[in-house]
Amino acid sequence: MDLFYSDEHKAFRQEVRDFIAANLPDDMRERLRAGGFASKTDTERWQRALNRRGWGAPAWPTAFGGAGWDAAKQQIFADECAAAPAPPPHIFNITMLGPVIIHFGSDAQREYFLPKLLNADIQVCQGFSEPGSGSDLASLKTSAVREGDEYVVNGQKIWTSQAHYSDWVFALVRTDPEAVRKQAGISFLLIDLKSPGITVRPIISIDGRHSLNEVFFDNARVPVTNLVGEENKGWDYAKFLLGHERAYIAGIGRNKERVACAKALLTKLASEGHPERELAGWRGRIALIEADLHALEVTQFRMHGGHADMKLSPMLKARGSEIFQAITDVICRMSGPAALRADGIGGPTLTKSYLYSRAVSIFGGSTEVQKNILSATVLSLP
Ligand SMILES: Cc1cc2nc3c(=O)[nH]c(=O)nc-3n(C[C@H](O)[C@H](O)[C@H](O)COP(=O)(O)OP(=O)(O)OC[C@H]3O[C@@H](n4cnc5c(N)ncnc54)[C@H](O)[C@@H]3O)c2cc1C
């Protein structure tokens, strides 16, 4: 999108590309290229390399150790990470919790957590969803009852990505069960996962991976100093965090990489002598998806450029998920039976990627829920 990228931005793209080429360990690049996720150790190594360069948190203000980049630089960086492929900065540490602590945390929380999040000295996970409280998140039941200088936490979280190797969980808990509006009785707590009374159990997803978990709290004691912001105001902070999460899940860089992969596959099929009548259909389909992706990128720039606000993040999330699923579907269909093989373009585990892509329209809030939010907050529909 040259519309947005000045000569300075183009030079920056080259700088990022050179940095990744020089610093991304080969084994990590190969693992990600093969369709794997970054492990805990991968994340530590890469996050620390980025942090040493001052790039650990693209959107954080420089006063807190972030890069303080404009929207164009953030997108260029995301594009180049996806193309390499290199892990993006830690999603839970950098994209979700960091901004909440910067905006709503205490000085002591900023001092303790921000440097550790930046350098992946600790890794955090997100304890929002519960059985029966996913789309209807505000109905969550995990309770935190204050006893002196501590909260006593009881309940269960589910679908907690990476909890099995995270050090802390940022959790929504119910601190006022009597609140008239259920949103008004929720608080945002930082909980050390090593605390007594916490059990993490694995959930293996349909793609065979262990990323998801259940987390149980049985009289876990959490210092009151780990409350973020004010008691019973956690819903406001959660909405702020979800705005960042949803804008991230739109995944424009990742979608560009998938479109490039589809085009490479098209070239390969042409070189293998597949007839034009077969290729033309795929070419048209890819072109339509790419046009949708450009439109999404324009929308994102409008949002980050200050012309709109985080109210639009559900739209980015819903549209980016649809595009990711559409392009993944095209790549799988173009590959035919090779989608099951371990050596095709698009990674050796295309089928696994396809299965994972189905989850993108669910996590961070399902597409249906994003549309409900947009209808209420943007379109003011009854
Ligand atoms: C891979 C993956 C990773 C995840 N990681 C995390 C994590 O790290 N931390 C965390 O807290 N959560 C995580 N989640 C949970 C995720 O946020 C929830 O799955 C999601 O919010 C949907 O909630 P649910 O699963 O309870 O589905 P439900 O809420 O039961 O929804 C079921 C279906 O009903 C539809 N539906 C529900 N309500 C409405 C409505 N009002 N109008 C129209 N349709 C509706 C939904 O769109 C969906 O299709 C993860 C989920 C997945 C799949």
Cβ atoms within 10 Å, residue 258 = 25
Q: Which domain holds residue 130?
A: 124-232
- From 46, 67, 89, the end of a domain falls on 89
Q: Is it the case that residue 41 has pLDDT exceeding 80?
A: yes
State pLDDT tens for residues 133-143.
999 999 999 99
Question: Tell me, what's the pLDDT at 303?
Answer: 76
Residues 314 and 344 both lie in one domain: yes
116 within a domain of the structure (yes/no) = no
266 and 195 assigned to the same domain: no
Q: How many domains does the chain have?
A: 3
DSSP-based three-state secondary structure for 66: coil
What pLDDT is recorded for position 306?
Answer: 52
Task: Summarize pLDDT for 11-24 with one digit per residue, the tens.
Answer: 999 999 999 999 99
Report the distance separating Cα 309 and Cα 306, nearest Å.
Answer: 7
Average pLDDT over residues 282-293: 98
CA of 124 to the centre of ligand 1 (A): 20
Ligand 1 pocket list (CB less than 6 A): 125-129, 134-135, 159-161, 212, 359, 362-363, 365-366, 368-369, 372
With H, G, I as helix, E, B as strand and everything else as coil, classify residue 100: helix
106, exposed or middle or buried, with CB in 10 Å at 0-12, 13-18, 19+?
A: middle
pLDDT for the residue numbered 197: 98
Task: Please report whether residue 371 resides in a domain.
Answer: yes
Active site residue 80: no
Q: What is the CATH number of the domain that holds 146?
A: 2.40.110.10
321 lies in a domain?
A: yes
Residues 144 and 175: beta-carbon distance below 8 Å: yes
So what's the pLDDT on residue 157?
98
Is 90 exceeded by the pLDDT of residue 120? Answer: yes
If you average pLDDT over every residue of the chain, what do you get? 93
pLDDT of the residue at 301:
83
CATH number at residue 370: 1.20.140.10
pLDDT in tens, 71-116: 899 999 999 999 999 999 999 999 999 999 999 999 999 999 999 9
CA of 365 from ligand 1 middle (Å) equals 5
Pair (206, 283) in one structural domain? no
Question: 30 pLDDT exceeds 80?
Answer: yes
Question: How many Å lie between the centroid of ligand 1 and the Cα of residue 375?
Answer: 18
198-220 pLDDT, tens digit per residue, is 999 999 998 888 999 999 999 99
Note whether 137 and 87 are within 8 A (CB).
no
Q: What is the CATH number of the domain that holds 60?
A: 1.10.540.10
Among 93, 135, 372, say which to mutate for ligand 1: greatest number of ligand atoms within 8 Å of CB.
135
Q: Measured between alpha carbons, how far is 240 from 124 in angstroms, rounded to an integer?
A: 17
Q: How much is the pLDDT for 6?
A: 87
pTM tops 0.85: yes
Q: Are residues 214 and 288 in the same domain?
A: no
What tens digit of pLDDT does each residue of 330-375 get? 999 998 887 776 555 544 468 888 888 999 999 999 999 999 999 9
